[in-house]
Amino acid sequence: MNPAADHSPTLATKSDIASFLLREFPQTKCTVVDVGHRSATVRHAIGSAELRPGGTVSGPVLVAVADVALYVAILGEIGLVPLAVTTSLSINFLRKPAADAAIVGTCRLMKVGKSLIVGEVDLYSEGLEEPVAHAVGTYSVPPRPASDAA
């Protein structure tokens, strides 16, 4: 079996990842919607704690969703590795999020290297078509026994 093949199963199931996420990020309000090949979707309910006056979802909440979406996609790709850490994250805020909709983040990994993984995340107000923000992040991961990585 080649875990790097394009239609390979993820190395951890969605429910494995959801449990692991709760242990590693106990404060997160994100839930795992989907984990696929080099991809993941997560969702974060929005309530008054996440809003600024005027009904804007605060930037750090969007960053947190992007970070979790990347982490979930990485766990699906390389297994339940507790030592993956974010090394950089950049985000562009594109539109005002809806005050009454959850934030959904969809991640696509662009590079799965031996020690660095890079991915991008589109962030949406649930139900709307245009993204509210776009993030690119890099994780550093511990060396793995075997990989297609470069």
Amino acid at 83: L
Q: Any contact of residue 8 with a copy of itself (CB under 8 A)? A: no
The one segment of 13-21, 73-81, 99-107, 131-139 that binds a copy of itself by CB under 8 A? 131-139
The one segment of 10-18, 47-55, 72-80, 97-105 that binds a copy of itself by CB under 8 A? 47-55
Q: Any contact of residue 81 with a copy of itself (CB under 8 A)? A: no
Q: Any contact of residue 58 with a copy of itself (CB under 8 A)? A: yes
Interface residues toward a copy of itself, by CB under 8 A: 23-27, 49, 52-53, 56, 58-61, 63-64, 67, 85-96, 110-111, 115-116, 118, 120, 131, 134, 136, 138, 140, 150
